[in-house]
Amino acid sequence: MSKIVSDAKAAIEGISDNMTLMLGGFGLCGIPENCIKALVQSGVKGLTCISNNAGVDDFGIGLMLQGKQVKKMISSYVGENAEFERQLLSGELEVDLVPQGTLSERIRATGAGIPAFFTPAGYGTEVQEGKEVREFNGRMYVMEESFNSDFALVKAWKGDTAGNLIFKGTARNFNPMMAMAGKVTIAEVEELVPAGSLDPNFIHVPGIFVNRIFQGVDYEKRIEQRTVQS
């Protein structure tokens, strides 16, 4: 079965209201821009989005928030989005703030088939509420469950027609773990090459984890916070 689809619109086929999605990226780095635009155009609603952050007001997941497409955000950082803040304070948006290491491990555990694990992060805080707590070697730990995501949307630098992916620099971030964790994984790439073109020693995600792949277009690659010398 061919994994190649023509574009983002074809790639997101099957994503419907009230599904749970994982979206790769850290800040605005390595986000699946084309897929997000296609989701905005599709008008799908009631989504639960698992992502490091919620983008900014006019880019990334922020575009989905503008369209009231997101019901719940599961993230570790959400500080750059005024519309997110407005929806949170007004009660329009449900938010689950997760320590970043815990978020990363919950994603990894999903891909590894691990239903739950114990971590000291969040013990004694609101993060602990409603969760099982155990003591190991004199230290208290909180049980965290893995995710149940319908689709994972990731963005890579290069990919081949078999679905093997290579990421570039820090744009790698959460993408490889999410690629392993989705029931259906959609990969958009800057460059799509024939199978066998990539050096196996440099492949970050084997194609077995990728269900659909396409070559994206018009990447903006915005810089969220620019710091330069005076």
Is residue 105 domain-resident? Answer: yes
> One-letter amino acid identity for 209?
F
Judge whether 20 lies within some domain: yes
The single-letter DSSP state of residue 221 is -
Least confident of 40-49, 64-73, 216-225: 216-225
Is 112 inside a domain boundary?
Answer: yes
Q: Structural domain tally of the chain? A: 1
Give the CATH number of the domain where residue 27 resides: 3.40.1080.10
Average pLDDT over residues 176-184: 97
Residue 115 has a pLDDT of 98
**37, amino acid identity:** K
pLDDT recorded at residue 79: 78
Cβ atoms 67, 43 nearer than 8 A: yes
Where residue 189 falls among pLDDT bands split at 50, 70, 90? very high
Query: Does some domain include residue 158?
Result: yes
Q: In angstroms, rounded to a whole number, what is the distance separating the alpha carbons of residues 100 and 121?
A: 10
Q: Answer whether residue 133 is part of any domain.
A: no
The reply to whether 123 falls in a domain is no
In a domain, 228, yes or no: no
- Rounded average pLDDT over 117-122: 97
Q: Can you give the pLDDT at residue 227? A: 87
Bridging pattern class, strands 139-145 and 116-119: antiparallel
Instruction: Sort 118 into a burial class: Cβ within 10 Å, 0-12 / 13-18 / 19+.
Output: middle
pTM: 0.94
Q: What is the pLDDT of residues 120-139, one digit of tens each?
A: 999 999 999 999 999 999 99
Three-class SS of 167-205: CCHHHHCCHHHHHHHCCEEEEEEEEEECCCCCCHHHCCE
Residue 193 pLDDT > 90, yes or no?
yes
Domain holding 103, by residue range, is 8-116+146-215
Any domain includes 197: yes
Q: How many helices (H) and strands (E) does the chain have?
A: 6, 11
**Cβ-contact 12, 184 below 8 angstroms:** no
C-alpha R_g of the chain? 18
Residue 68 has pLDDT above 80, yes or no: yes
pLDDT of 1 over the 80 cut: no
